[in-house]
Structure 1
Amino acid sequence: MVSVDQPSSVLEPAMVARAHRAVEPLHSHMYFAPEHDEKLGALGLKPGRMSYFAGRAAPMGAVGAGVVTATFYNFSPSLVAHMIPRAWSLASPEHILAARLDIARSSLTRLLGAEAAGSAEVAELAELLREACAVLTPEGRALYAGHADLPWPEEPLLALWHGATLLREHRGDGHIAVLLHAGLTGLEALVTHTATGRGFTEPAARATRGWKEDEWAAACAALADRGLLDDAGLTDDGTSLRAHIETQTDALSADPWLLLGPERTARVVELGKGLSRRLVASGAFGAGIFAGS
Structure 2
Amino acid sequence: MPHPQAKIHRMFELVEPIATVTFSEVVNEAFLSLGMRNYWDGYFAGRAAPLGLAPAEVVHAVFYNFADGEVARHIPWVWGKVTPQEALAVRERASAVALRQQIGEVAESPGLVRVADLATRAAMSAPTEGRALYAGLKALDVPEDPVAKLWHAATLLREYRGDGHNAALVAHGIGGTEAHVLMALALGMQAETFGRIHHLPKAQLAAVVDGLRERGLVDAAGEFTDAGRETKQRIEALTDELAAPAYDVLIADELDELIAGLEPIAASISND
User: Are 2:261 and 1:266 equivalent residues in the alignment?
Assistant: no
- Distance in 1 (alpha carbons) for counterparts of 2:172 and 2:184: 17
Which ranges of 4 or more aligned residues in structure 1 deviate by more than 4 Å? 198-201
- Distance in 2 (alpha carbons) for counterparts of 1:21 and 1:222: 30
Greater relative contact order structure (CA < 8 Å, 6+ sep): 1
| Match among 72, 80, 84 for residue 81 of structure 1 | 72
1:46-74 Cα shifts (integer Å, max 9, x gaps): 22111101110011112111111111111
Q: Percent identity?
A: 34
Q: 1:74 to 1:34 in 2, by over 3 A?
A: same
Residue matched to 1:20: 12
- Distance in 1 (alpha carbons) for counterparts of 2:213 and 2:17: 32
Residue matched to 1:195: 185
Residue matched to 1:50: 41
Residue matched to 1:6: none
- Distance in 1 (alpha carbons) for counterparts of 2:59 and 2:92: 21
Return the offset for 1:150.
Answer: 0.4
TM-score, length-scaled by structure 2: 0.94
Return the offset for 1:186.
Answer: 0.6
User: Are 2:129 and 1:139 equivalent residues in the alignment?
Assistant: yes
Over the residues paired in the alignment, what is the CA RMSD in angstroms?
1.7
1:156-204 Cα shifts (integer Å, max 9, x gaps): 1111011101111111111101100100111111111111017998331
Give the number of equivalent residue pairs: 270
- Distance in 1 (alpha carbons) for counterparts of 2:267 and 2:229: 28
| Match among 166, 183, 205 for residue 176 of structure 1 | 166
Residue matched to 1:100: 91
User: Which amino acid in 1 is paired with 2:26?
Assistant: E
User: Are 2:198 and 1:235 equivalent residues in the alignment?
Assistant: no
Alpha carbons 1:206, 1:212 under 8 Å: kept: no
